[in-house]
Amino acid sequence: MDKGRFGRAIEEIKKGKRFIVISHVNPEGDAIGSLLGLALALKGMGKEVIAYLEDSVPDVYNFLPGREMIVHTPEGIGKVDATFAVDCGQMERLGGRFVSFNGKGTVVNMDHHITNSYFGDINIVAPEASAAGEIVFDLLTEAGIKITPDVATNLYVAIHTDTGSFRYSSSSPEAFKKAGELVRFGADPWVIASRVYENYPLKRFKLLSMALSTLEVLNGGKVSTLKVTLDMLNSVGGGKDMVDGFVNFARAVEGVEVGVLFRECGEDEYKVSLRSKGSVDVSKVAGQFGGGGHPNAAGFNIKGGFEEVKKQVIDALHASLGGAQKICQKT
Amino acid sequence: MDKGRFGRAIEEIKKGKRFIVISHVNPEGDAIGSLLGLALALKGMGKEVIAYLEDSVPDVYNFLPGREMIVHTPEGIGKVDATFAVDCGQMERLGGRFVSFNGKGTVVNMDHHITNSYFGDINIVAPEASAAGEIVFDLLTEAGIKITPDVATNLYVAIHTDTGSFRYSSSSPEAFKKAGELVRFGADPWVIASRVYENYPLKRFKLLSMALSTLEVLNGGKVSTLKVTLDMLNSVGGGKDMVDGFVNFARAVEGVEVGVLFRECGEDEYKVSLRSKGSVDVSKVAGQFGGGGHPNAAGFNIKGGFEEVKKQVIDALHASLGGAQKICQKT
């Protein structure tokens, strides 16, 4: 929090009456939880609050308190006193319709991405936070705004999902401490976990069954691959979102450093997802193919026949793994 | 902690020189983590410590610091000043060879099971603790014994595994607070999570692929079943332990209240595992078949042909679900 302070954000809350709370396109748990947590907290103070997401909310988050508040277009909103953007690194990622909207008021940018562009009038950027939900928690705490069970549930989901159920290295002492406080305020870990992690359509497991049947370990055991074809998706009647998380099964094989998922997305076209246990920075590998991401999670799109694409990816990973292992296949 | 106090346990630590730290047969993360955490902490004070488990340690826990200390027989130990039993509800569950051993010294029983029989000379039983690891944490804190990164790793694993990666309802504010402290003391959430959850043999995923192909949703969507046959196990060359956790995939189907796994364990003989999301107490259902467990996780063995066994189990679950749903099958 080198730039920006809660002081100025709290001032905006105190003096304003109408607010937008917004997060990024393609929203996930931290975006939606932080947004709804802040929106409900402000509403609880008697403010008029518009919860805005340009994209739709994944079904899995439909249980979140305040979900029904979310609108997807700025039409009819009119001018607000301030817009609170949470978990969003760049203005463009709020969505094209919102960027063109003229009624934003003071823009308060509250984010934890180190790449944040400081696009707000007020910027509270805390890369050390595991989730934007932590920053919202800190704001509410400093401002003395009540954290109700509904607010706590949303902020807990934000932290829970962005730390991968408290498994990623972002699971800091502060993240645990705040999660514990949110449980004290009424978030229910089991109800939330069962809604987030035990709420998949039957056909996703049928698809997983097919995908796992393709599992291979390569590169002397350091790389594992999975494949999902359009035929598989069509046979279960699933959309591409259904494949989310499958790549983690590839990484979860013992001895494997990098898990790879090839998802066919068109004729001779693949979406490649990479997940690393830590020894390889897969964002650099993805970068070689025009993609990007984080050191442990990255991806890119690539054109070509499957065997050709696979060879290119495995060769690039082989080089990143130090090239010490002879590429060989175990089944 | 209505009975027993850390005061008397700390006195035993201060005055003694040789200790056994022990946990239950068939040990899991809390047993092993609590045991090794306490053993290493006592060793760090210059005490002579024997870490004892009558059963073998599952491979997944081989990475734990202090793992090499563990012995499996009382032969040659001789007399110790005190035995610290962690995570164990009954003396018998420490193992038959240990029960017959005469050199135990003062027995300090530190556990979180509500069914604990108070078998120790000193009993510290805290059912509100998510894991025995929390009790060891409290003991070390009260005694001012240093929590090194190795001790922290073990105690973190204890809490992490017994709360199901901070998902079960036992994930209390205290559990989160202590986990955060342990991270501060040097436990690494990602290294630990990747060792515990991303370290499975390839063949387990091949088996999972086969098991998931049997997934069915029954009872109007409230019950989901999986089946693992001996043929499947033999085809991948896997042991029965490889099936651990599969039943959670059955429970994870949306709308499902109870997940069921039928594992063939002999000719017309099945091990049935039940997992509930909360609305059904599956320990009662298991009890009807001579088994037992917890409200959310229970099991039993049953003889009979598969279809017959399945019908009995589904009928019993149907009754527990209120019998309101007509039994019908969706595929």
ipTM field: 0.90
Closest partner residue to B169 (CB to CB) among A190, A251, A330 is A190
Q: What number is the average pLDDT over the span B6-15?
A: 97
Radius of gyration of chain B (CA): 21
CB–CB contact A200 B254 (8 Å): yes
Angstroms from B1 CA to nearest CA on chain A: 21
| B276 at interface of A, judged by CB pairs closer than 8 A | no
Cβ distance A226 to A259 under 8 Å? yes
Q: Is the pLDDT of residue A257 over 70?
A: yes
E strand intervals along B185-257: 216-218, 223-228
Q: Is the pLDDT of residue A4 over 90?
A: no
Q: Is the pLDDT of residue A1 over 70?
A: no
Average pLDDT in chain A:
94
Q: Is the pLDDT of residue B326 over 50?
A: no
Angstroms from A89 CA to nearest CA on chain B: 25
| A223, closest residue in chain B (CA to CA) | B202
In the stretch 227-266 of chain B, residues with CB closer than 8 A to chain A read 248-249, 251-254, 256
Counts of helices then strands in chain B (DSSP H, E): 12, 12
What's the pTM? 0.91
Q: Comparing A5-9, A10-14, B201-205, which segment has the lowest mean pLDDT? A: A5-9
Cβ distance A208 to A246 under 8 Å? yes
The two three-digit tokens of residue B167, written as one number: 């998902």
CB–CB contact B277 A194 (8 Å): yes
Q: Is the pLDDT of residue A219 over 90?
A: no
Average pLDDT in chain B:
94
List Cα–Cα distances, A44 to A36, A68, A148, B90, in angstroms.
12, 16, 9, 50
Closest by alpha carbon to A236, among A268, A200, A207?
A207
Residue A325, pLDDT score = 43
CB–CB contact B190 A173 (8 Å): no
Residue A324, pLDDT score = 45
CA angle B292, A191, A142 (to 5 degrees): 140
The identity of residue A115, as a single letter, is T
Q: What number is the average pLDDT over the span A94-110?
A: 98
Q: Is the pLDDT of residue A331 over 60?
A: no
Best B128, B190, B232, B256 residue to mutate vs chain A (most A CBs within 10 Å): B190
Q: What is the 3-state secondary structure (H, E, C) of chain A?
A: CCCCCHHHHHHHHHHCCEEEEECCCCCCHHHHHHHHHHHHHHHHCCCEEEEECCCCCCHHHCCCCCHHHEECCCCCCCCCCEEEEECCCCHHHHCHHHHHCCCCCEEEEEECCCCCCCCCCEEEECCCCCCHHHHHHHHHHHHCCCCCHHHHHHHHHHHHHHCCCCCCCCCCHHHHHHHHHHHHCCCCHHHHHHHHHCCECHHHHHHHHHHHCCCEEEHHHCEEEEEECHHHHHHHCCCHHHHCCHHHHHHCECCCCEEEEEEEEECCEEEEEEEECCCCCHHHHHHHCCCEECCCEEEEEEECCHHHHHHHHHHHHHHHCCCCCCCCCEC
pLDDT level of residue B4 (50, 70, 90 thresholds) = very low
Percent of all residues in chain A with a pLDDT value above 90, rounded to a whole number:
91
- Please count the residues of chain A: 331
Closest partner residue to B189 (CB to CB) among A168, A206, A254 is A168
Q: What number is the average pLDDT over the span A109-135?
A: 96
Q: What number is the average pLDDT over the span A162-168?
A: 95
B268-325 pLDDT tens trace: 999 999 999 999 999 999 999 999 988 999 999 999 999 999 999 999 999 999 854 4
Closest partner residue to B209 (CB to CB) among A212, A252, A254 is A212
Cβ distance A117 to A89 under 8 Å? yes
Angstroms from B242 CA to nearest CA on chain A: 13
CB–CB contact A173 B181 (8 Å): yes
Backbone angles phi, psi at A48, to 5 degrees: -90, 125
pLDDT level of residue A294 (50, 70, 90 thresholds) = confident
CB–CB contact A166 B179 (8 Å): yes
Q: Which domains does chain A have, with CATH numbers?
A: 6-197 (3.90.1640.10), 202-320 (3.10.310.30)
Q: Is the pLDDT of residue A3 over 70?
A: no
Cβ distance A206 to A234 under 8 Å? no
pLDDT level of residue B177 (50, 70, 90 thresholds) = very high
Q: Is the pLDDT of residue B327 over 80?
A: no
Q: What number is the average pLDDT over the span B60-68?
A: 97
Q: Is the pLDDT of residue A145 over 80?
A: yes
Contacts A168 to B, Cβ<8 Å? 189-190, 193
Q: What number is the average pLDDT over the span B40-55?
A: 98
Cβ distance B268 to B304 under 8 Å? yes
B200-252 pLDDT tens trace: 999 999 999 999 999 999 989 999 999 999 999 999 998 888 999 999 999 99
Q: Among all chains, which residue has been given the structure tokens 């509904």?
A: A150
